[in-house]
Each structure stands twice: as structure tokens, then as C-alpha cells.
A = this chain, B = another copy of it.
Amino acid sequence: MTLKQEPLPSKTQLIDAQKQLALWVHDTPVLTSTYINDLIGAEVFFKCEQLQRMGAFKMRGAAKALLDLSMGQRAMGVVTHSSGNFGQALALAAKMMDVTAYIVMPDQTPQVKKSAVRDYGAQVTECASTIDARIAATQLIASKTGATILHPSNDLSVIIGHATAAMELLDCIDGLDHIVAPVGGGGLLAGTALACHHFGHQCTCLGAEPIEVNDAFRSLQSGKIESNAQTNTIADGLKTQLGDVNFPIIQALVQRIDCVSETEIIHAMRLIYERMKLVVEPSSAVALAALVKHPERFQGKRVGVILSGGNVDLSDLPF
């Protein structure tokens, strides 16, 4: 696969995105925990995107992607395939902006997630669980309705939208040394890296990834996009594949990706529930797991952590 060689999104593009999104997304709180600071030996600042509208940072990218459509495109609607947070985010953002949204969801998606998307007013189309079936169903809807296909993470508007979480964190907390974000499809990490690059002064961007699906870690090592042979992780939001739009940004701007085990993710998740009193989904715990695993790498630093979302089945917590 040849990577797209585009110039990096500019500082102005990010500033414009932040201004545009101010109407549509929350400037989420930044919280701290003395216990966790002592545990890591660092000052850790948690950007709480689980408190974002619909419960995840995906709201930012979805809203930005809609704002970047032409008037003509808006009239025809948008379509995406997602079993997770991006489907809900696009449904809600589209409802708020009065755009028709079509969401393709695998038929094995839990009923509660399909209901959430329908409750936001989007039209749900079910398909078989394979990636080929999802893409085919999406393309069919696009060709029938003229709806614009939006990708949950491998899209520049989405990436720029996601960047605004780290921009707010940098606005709010001075002198950060690092911001750590989880990496799945790569949209959040690429956006966070852009924010650090343009607004971070000395602040570097780090990724955190489950060992079980560490395609991004391996891609940084090999210099080309790698795939996951399996997706056996509790961090269901991070099973998705790195893309050719976000990988070049990650390659250019992310200092390092740390990998963590399933046990380490669950332990960090429990810390966030017990010590911070916050409901997060497993994907959100991956960045803290990286800090807990390698405290020596963060000793004495000021570290931002993006808590990515809180949409979790409470009757199925791993503790």
C-alpha cells in the first residue's frame, strides 16, 4: 500500500476546528488523582472524554466531518459502518445538525448499541459481521442515496476533530511533557500528535496499545502498515486497523507506542473506577496501563492522558 503523502494539517486548520466545534462538543473536565500521581511518581492529568456528548471523543471527529461537508453533500446525508462509538457519534452529530445519517452495523452488534443509534435518529442497516459485508453495505447505501461515506478514523476531518481534545488539555494545563493516547484505528493518536506538534511547546505525543492488537506499534517499527492476525482484546474500541491517512501523521509525530497486556489494562481500568470514581470503557484504561507498567519513563513529568470513552456494559465489568 502506498501511503498518502500529504502536508500535515496546519495550525490554522486546528484552531478553526476548535472554534467550529465549540458549539457542538463539550470542553470536558481534566481530573487528577493524588493516589495515581504517587503511584507513578508523576503529575498525571486525565482529559475526560468519557464525559463528552454520547460518552466518547468520537463526537469531535464526527461533528467536524459533518461541518466539512459542502451544502450539497449535507443534503444527501452521510453513511458509515460502525459497531461502536463512531456510529453513535455520527448519529448524534447528524441529529444535532439536521443531516440524515445511515449507520451500517453488523447483525451481531448488541441490541443496546443498535437502539442507541436509532434513538439518536439514525437509520440502521444490519449486515453480516465480516469487513467485506460492512463495506459492501456501506457502498450500496452511498450509491443508492448519494450519502457521503465517512470513515471512523482514517479521515483528515475526523483526525482534526479528534485533535481538539488534546488542544483543550494543552490550553488547560501548562508545561505538559507528554500526552498519551490509546491507538486503535489511529484517528485519536494522529489528532493528539498534531495538537502536540502545533501547540505543545516541549510536549511530545505517545501512544498506548494492547499487545494483542499492536498493529500500530509494529507499523512504527517496520515503517509500513501492519495488520492484526486476531483481535483478542478486552479493549474493543482498539480492534480497528491503522489507516493510510493517519499512519503518516503518527509516523512523523508520535515519539513512541507502549504496549500493554490484557491484565495490565484491567488493572488500570480498576484503578480509574476505584480511585477516580469514573466509568470508562477498557480502551480508556490502556494509556494509564502504559504509565503503571513503566513509571520510570514518566518519573517527575507532567503527563496528560486521554480517557477516550465510557460506553461499557456495566453488567460485564472484568472485576
Residue positions of A touching B, CB distance < 8 A:
29, 31, 34, 50-51, 53, 55, 270, 273-274, 276-280, 310, 314-315, 317, 319
Contact = CB atoms under 8 A, between A and B. Distances in A.
A74 to B, nearest CB: 23
25 contacts: A29-B29, A29-B31, A31-B51, A34-B53, A50-B277, A51-B276, A51-B277, A55-B277, A270-B314, A273-B279, A273-B314, A274-B279, A274-B314, A276-B279, A277-B278, A277-B279, A277-B280, A277-B310, A278-B278, A278-B279, A279-B279, A314-B317, A314-B319, A315-B319, A317-B317
A53 B278 CA distance: 14
Determine the main DSSP class of A at the interface with B: helix
Nearest to A29: B29
Contacts of A51: 31, 276-277
List the 8 closest pairs (A to B, CB-CB), nearest first: A277-B310, A277-B279, A50-B277, A29-B29, A273-B279, A273-B314, A314-B319, A279-B279
A51 B48 CA distance: 13
Quick one: which of A51, A315, A319 has the most chain B CB within 10 A? A51
A310 B55 CA distance: 20
Given A29-B29, A314-B317, 5 more contacts: A29-B31, A31-B51, A51-B276, A51-B277, A273-B314
A51 B276 CA distance: 7
